[in-house]
A and B are shown apart, each in its own frame.
Chain A
Amino acid sequence: MKDFIIPDRDFGTPAAKSKQMVTLTIDGFDVTVPEGTSIMRAAAEAGIQVPKLCATDSVDAFGSCRLCLVEIEGRNGTPASCTTPVAPGLKVHTQNAKLKQLRRGVMELYISDHPLDCLTCSANGDCELQDMAGAVGLRDVRYEAVDTHFKVKNTSGEANPLYIPRDDSNPYFSYDPQKCIVCSRCVRACEEVQGTFALTIEGRGFDSRVSFGAKTDNALASDCVSCGACVQACPTATLQEKSVIEIGTPSHSVITTCAYCGVGCSFKAEMRGDELVRMTPYKHGKANRGHSCVKGRFAYGYASHKDRILKPMIRDAITDPWKEVTWAEAMEFAATRMKGIQAKYGRQSVGVITSSRCTNEETYLVQKLTRGVFMNNNTDTCARVCHSPTGYGLGQTFGTSAGTQDFDSVEEADVIMVIGANPHAGHPVFASRMKKRLRKGAKLIVVDPRRTETVEGPHYKAAHHLALTPGTNVAVVSAIAHVIVTEKLYNETFIRERCDWDEFQDYAEFIALPNHSPEAVQMVTGVPAEEIRLAARLYATGGNAAIYYGLGVTEHSQGSTTVIGIANLAMLTGNIGRRGVGVNPLRGQNNVQGSCDMGSFPHELPGYRHVKNPEVRAIYENLWGVKIDPEPGLRIPNMLDAAVEGTFKGLYCQGEDILQSDPDTHHVAAGLAAMECVIVHDLFLNETANYAHVFFPGSSFLEKDGTFTNAERRINMVRKVMAPKQGYADWEVTQMFAQAMGANWNYTHPSQIMEEIAMTTPSFAGVTYEKIETMGSIQWPCNEKAPEGTPLMHIDGFVRGKGKFIRTEYVATDEKTGPRFPLLLTTGRILSQYNVGAQTRRTANVVWHDEDVLEINPHDAENRGIKDGDWVRLASRSGDTTLRATIADRVAPGVVYTTFHHPDTQANVITTDFSDWATNCPEYKVTAVQVSPSNGPSEWQEEYAAQAAQSRRILAAE
């Protein structure tokens, strides 16, 4: 196995950003560093490690351990090198007789209150205290430990009141106070890196102890979000991964990319043999900069969960139990069925769904399968149900279907507008980076029906929270534009230079109409007009203004219109094309950007080029030796409709659980049940597999090579750290299936697939595995014009030429409340669970969220006689389900909220089949519902559970 380990050197303090350079002498060597650098860091850059305990380069210097003392010629005393900045001409000595003696004395004091159980300690070999004892030459401790924090009993056998037992309440790491040296690294990491402020130092002096939350809290009960920043910062065994306690220290590591959300954090998979010991955030990862969240850092146990299926399975009918077979038999069975269906019902009767969880290379192969082997364009992907309006809206206005910035850009934003997103739960690492900027004074505007964690928290509070009624995004965004236009806050120079002036005038005339004014729409949106005016003025005049938005924008019947409205706001105010600004969709899945780029949509070949375009088709036709269908294929909802009608009969669905994730579950189930061959390619027997005839076991992200593209268009490497448990990486499975279907595919490594992508797709033309290896990651477009990739888009001009203003007329959704369904349901997710929960439900993350609950305002609950924790029936025109209620005033009266992580709740039974006018993205975020007390699961839930149990039977091996 290749080891990509680059030693993560700790420079002690963060890098200084000054352009002014300073030269000083450290131990006789000249060192030149940016102004503001600490002496400790300057020494480290020269290769001189000053001993240290409380300093680490993820947090600001603190100066408490007194181990990093140095002497500076001409200055008094022995200053701490971590808190002393460099100055020109300083002559620094890091090692002499006096310093040695001082350091040894400090270490003696530390060790006098620390157990000497190094050999059996879980941090043995990975402990900075141990290293520093070695570095300072500690040989002897003169102090007799009388009062200690580590002895369970004192000399006379009484319980030691200072001893605090280990806190094992967090499922992933333990807090063992007896090992603590009170360096405050954990407290500072929680504050500076994560921004949760869940930790503190309680007491003072000798009584100082690290405390999770307030006095009566433990790690689990505190505000801790289990991001792992404290564990990462801890120099001793005090905060330690339980996996390391159980297994031991890792021996080697491989850098790879997290397979959860669209932030795309880089991680080091730390291994012993082929056992994964822990995942640690990679400091040089450009998306996460050394930070992580509970999912990527800890929730990887699903890859070895007992539910994972490791053998291919087939069955004649979905009422039969599964039969385990060899890969060859499964391929033969699947190919015969699919060929049979195409022979009987025609070329268009089968299709594929690509996965936003799989790599670019795998996605490319799946769409190639339908275009080059099935010979149709029936390919779609889960972006259909999340960010397809982003693709449309930004494509129309700017000319490219992607976010404009990198995540680093948020560090220069002065005003941050978050619309329909809760990064705190959905994109936690980005949220931490955003909160860091907010603590430095950037202003926050949140547009969300709920008062989410993003609105307010320790050391930040939104200047304006526009708590709109679900479904009125366009009205709010247009009202903001109305204020900008009518109060003449727009940037005329930018618009004249970069946009089409005539289109602007047309748009300005439209948006200035009084029916778009905040006062006119406040009855519809529920947002006070004055708040909208203030927010608009802040966005337009507050300096660098950046918009970050999520599925609360797209998953509406007017999702595309809102995206266009957002693009208009950025163009009106000139907030595009430089750092600190931009329009940034927060992508849901690890590779949803990539799956869209790879031609997963039925009307687009890779690189967003329409299939009607003969020149583009010719590229692939020549390469693949086939004739490509010039007509766009079926979208997911069309496939299901066609299945119910009887014209669509076969589906290859890779890594997506459409039954749980797509709206109107009844309709999805009916569509799947009507098909003759459903092939599910997944880690688990997911809900869709209940209706499948063939099951190809999938490989986890730890078991394959490839690339993921995150929300910043950043192509990150995914590296194989262990062999696939079921035998093949997913790209190999797709290839075997294509071969069984008669295709002549012979890729031997995903890099060859990337070569094919680069060769055929202009925006990927310069991408190679070698370049990603050297650069760490690349942001597309990467081609002759931008050989190093493109961190910021639209710098000197829009990709489409002139930015295009498009009118945004608000049309209320047809999903309306009425006497039978008086409440509006909106859906979302929470931090510890991911999407349909197939992965996170199979990890210890369930301690935070083991069932979906319905958030309901106290007013609405009281009217219905509902108390906190009661079972309630949630019903819409589409269906009904039951779940527990939680009373919360963060949802407005008239609005209820739930998540969709658990299949036994199936929130999507409730959601309707209304969808975005342009892209069919379902309207998950608005459903008219009624809530009433209930005493248990609905009839549908019971039937569903029975069907699922029946369908998941596997025949015993003969």
Chain B
Amino acid sequence: MLDSDALSDRISEILEAHRGLEGPLLPILHAVQEAFGHVPQAAIPQIAAALTLSKAEVHGVVSFYHDFREAPAGRHVLKLCRAEACQAVGADAVAGRIKAALGIDWHETTPDGRVTLEPVFCLGLCACGPAAMIDGRLVGRCDEAVLAEVAK
């Protein structure tokens, strides 16, 4: 865990690196999430001040996107598609088995910090449902494959 000075210094660096960019808020938030694994609350006033925004505005943007995290995720992030096409080919059942295997519910992380499970709505892989995404890598027809990964 960074102390507040170190956090503030790191955010200053990120802000400096994005100086002059048009529409800088989202790239900055991505960089912050990249650096810390989440967007720390303490970063919000600092980002707001640097962009002459209010902290409410930055909070509005951060909270709009589910991908910006309030707390660091587990070492692996598993996203399972919950949209119609995947549901039609058994996504719910897969999800149920994975939840049982990991012993967690949506948006939770296993106690050992290994996996975070998240729902996602359409990965554009409808032809190969049920679709999943593991650490940014797409997985089609994910039933057995994902279970195997999870078992590891």
Partner of B56, one of A198, A456, A460: A198
Please tell me which stretch of B2-10, B57-65, B77-85 contacts chain A, meaning at least 4 of its Cβ atoms lie within 8 angstroms of it. B57-65
Given contacts A214-B45, A215-B41, A216-B41, contact A200 B52 (CB under 8 A): no
Partner of B59, one of A202, A456, A458: A202
Would A213 and B59 count as touching, CB distance under 8 A?
yes
Q: Is B44 an interface residue (CB 8 A)?
A: yes
Would B70 and A200 count as touching, CB distance under 8 A?
no
Would B53 and A200 count as touching, CB distance under 8 A?
no
**B98 → chain A closest CB, angstroms:** 23
Q: Is B54 an interface residue (CB 8 A)?
A: yes
Would B56 and A457 count as touching, CB distance under 8 A?
no
In the complex formed, the residue of B with least CB distance to A209 is: B63
Q: Is A800 an interface residue (CB 8 A)?
A: no
In the complex formed, the residue of A with least CB distance to B52 is: A461
Partner of B53, one of A197, A199, A204, A213: A197
Given contacts A213-B59, A214-B45, contact A458 B53 (CB under 8 A): yes
Would B63 and A212 count as touching, CB distance under 8 A?
no
Q: Is B55 an interface residue (CB 8 A)?
A: yes
Interface residues of B in 27-64 (CB under 8 A from A): 41, 44-45, 48, 52-60, 63-64
Mostly helix, strand, loop or mixed at chain B's interface?
Answer: helix
In the complex formed, the residue of A with least CB distance to B64 is: A204
Would A198 and B59 count as touching, CB distance under 8 A?
no
**A106 → chain B closest CB, angstroms:** 23
In the complex formed, the residue of B with least CB distance to A458 is: B54
Q: Is A166 an interface residue (CB 8 A)?
A: no
Would A203 and B63 count as touching, CB distance under 8 A?
yes
Given contacts A204-B64, A211-B60, contact A458 B52 (CB under 8 A): yes
List the B side residues contacting A456 at CB < 8 Å.
52
Among A197, A223, A459, the most chain B Cβ lie within 10 Å of the Cβ of: A197
List the B side residues contacting A461 at CB < 8 Å.
52
Would B64 and A223 count as touching, CB distance under 8 A?
no
The docked-state distance in angstroms from the alpha carbon of A199 to that of B44 is 14
Would B56 and A197 count as touching, CB distance under 8 A?
yes
The docked-state distance in angstroms from the alpha carbon of A249 to that of B134 is 57
**B68 → chain A closest CB, angstroms:** 12
Would A459 and B52 count as touching, CB distance under 8 A?
yes
The docked-state distance in angstroms from the alpha carbon of A214 to that of B54 is 9
Would B52 and A202 count as touching, CB distance under 8 A?
no
Q: Is A162 an interface residue (CB 8 A)?
A: no
Among B44, B55, B56, B64, the most chain A Cβ lie within 10 Å of the Cβ of: B56
List the A side residues contacting B58 at CB < 8 Å.
214
**A347 → chain B closest CB, angstroms:** 60
Would A215 and B70 count as touching, CB distance under 8 A?
yes
Would B53 and A214 count as touching, CB distance under 8 A?
no
**A216 → chain B closest CB, angstroms:** 6
Q: Is A201 an interface residue (CB 8 A)?
A: yes
The docked-state distance in angstroms from the alpha carbon of A459 to that of B58 is 13
Would A197 and B59 count as touching, CB distance under 8 A?
no
In the complex formed, the residue of A with least CB distance to B54 is: A197
Would B52 and A215 count as touching, CB distance under 8 A?
no
Would B53 and A201 count as touching, CB distance under 8 A?
no
List the A side residues contacting B64 at CB < 8 Å.
202-204
Q: Is A222 an interface residue (CB 8 A)?
A: yes
Interface mask (B85-112 → A, CB under 8 Å = 1, otherwise 0): 0000000000000000000000000000
List the A side residues contacting B63 at CB < 8 Å.
202-204, 211, 215
Would A459 and B53 count as touching, CB distance under 8 A?
yes
The docked-state distance in angstroms from the alpha carbon of A451 to that of B80 is 50
Would B52 and A214 count as touching, CB distance under 8 A?
no
Interface residues of A in 186-240 (CB under 8 A from B): 196-204, 211-217, 222-223
Would A223 and B55 count as touching, CB distance under 8 A?
yes
**A187 → chain B closest CB, angstroms:** 8
Would B41 and A200 count as touching, CB distance under 8 A?
no
Would B41 and A458 count as touching, CB distance under 8 A?
no
List the A side residues contacting B52 at CB < 8 Å.
456-461
Among B41, B45, B60, the most chain A Cβ lie within 10 Å of the Cβ of: B60
Would B41 and A212 count as touching, CB distance under 8 A?
no
The docked-state distance in angstroms from the alpha carbon of A197 to that of B56 is 7
Would B60 and A201 count as touching, CB distance under 8 A?
yes
List the B side residues contacting A217 at CB < 8 Å.
55
Interface residues of A in 307-361 (CB under 8 A from B): none
The docked-state distance in angstroms from the alpha carbon of A459 to that of B57 is 11
List the B side residues contacting A203 at CB < 8 Å.
63-64
Would A222 and B41 count as touching, CB distance under 8 A?
no
Would A223 and B70 count as touching, CB distance under 8 A?
no
The docked-state distance in angstroms from the alpha carbon of A222 to that of B53 is 14
Would A199 and B70 count as touching, CB distance under 8 A?
no
The docked-state distance in angstroms from the alpha carbon of A457 to that of B57 is 13
List the A side residues contacting B57 at CB < 8 Å.
197, 200, 458
The docked-state distance in angstroms from the alpha carbon of A196 to that of B58 is 13
Among A196, A213, A216, the most chain B Cβ lie within 10 Å of the Cβ of: A213
List the A side residues contacting B41 at CB < 8 Å.
214-216
List the A side residues contacting B55 at CB < 8 Å.
213-214, 217, 222-223
List the A side residues contacting B60 at CB < 8 Å.
200-202, 211
The docked-state distance in angstroms from the alpha carbon of A526 to that of B64 is 45
List the B side residues contacting A199 at CB < 8 Å.
56
The docked-state distance in angstroms from the alpha carbon of A661 to that of B45 is 37
A-B contact pairs, 26 of them (CB 8 A): A196-B54, A197-B53, A197-B54, A197-B57, A198-B54, A198-B56, A200-B54, A200-B57, A200-B59, A200-B60, A201-B60, A202-B59, A202-B64, A204-B63, A211-B56, A213-B55, A214-B41, A214-B44, A214-B55, A215-B59, A215-B70, A217-B55, A223-B54, A223-B56, A458-B48, A460-B52
10 closest cross-chain pairs (CB), A and B:
A200-B60, A197-B54, A200-B56, A458-B54, A214-B59, A202-B63, A214-B55, A214-B44, A213-B56, A204-B64
- Which residues of B are interface residues toward A (Cβ below 8 A)? 41, 44-45, 48, 52-60, 63-64, 70
Extra contacts, 4 of them, besides A198-B54, A458-B54 (Cβ < 8 A), are A204-B63, A214-B44, A216-B41, A461-B52
